[in-house]
Amino acid sequence: MDLTWVEISKEALIHNLKEFRRLVGPNVALAPAVKANAYGHGLVECSKAMAEHGADYLCVNALYEAEALRQAGIRTPILLIGHTPLSDLGELHKLQLETIVYNPETVEALGKLGHPINIHLKIETGNHRQGIRPEDLPAFAERTKRFPNLTVKGLSTHFANLEDRLNQQYARHQLREFQRSFDMLKTLGLKPHYRHCAATAGIVALPEAHFNFVRLGIGGYGLWPSPKTQVAAERAGLKMELKPALTWKTMVAQIKEVEKGDLVGYGCSHEMKHDGKIVVLPIGYYDGFVRALGNKGAVLIRGHRAPVIGRVCMNMIMADATEIPDVRLEDEVVLLGEQGKERITAEEMGELSGTINYEVTTRIGERIPRNLKP
Cα–Cα dist 142/152, whole Å: 12
Partners of 159 in the β-ladder: none
DSSP letters along 7-48, please?
EEEHHHHHHHHHHHHHHH-TTSEE--B-HHHHHTT-HHHHHH
Catalytic residue among 64, 94, 256, 266: 266
Q: How remote is the C-alpha of 164 from its chain's centroid?
A: 17
Sign of the CA dihedral with 351 first, then 355, 356, and 361 last: negative
Q: Which one is catalytic: 35, 48, 228, 249? A: 35
Strand partners, 248: 6, 336
Residue 64 among the catalytic residues? no
Nearest to 252 by CA among 309, 325, 319, 329: 329
The answer to whether residue 285 is catalytic is: no
What is the number of alpha carbons within 13 Å of residue 187 lying toward its C-beta? 9
Q: What is the DSSP string of 285-354?
A: TTTT--GGGTTT-EEEETTEEEEEES---SS-EEEE-TTSTT--TT-EEEEEEEETTEEE-HHHHHHHHT
Looking only at the bridges linking them, the beta strands covering 150-156 and 117-122 are: parallel
Task: Return the active site residues.
Answer: 35, 266
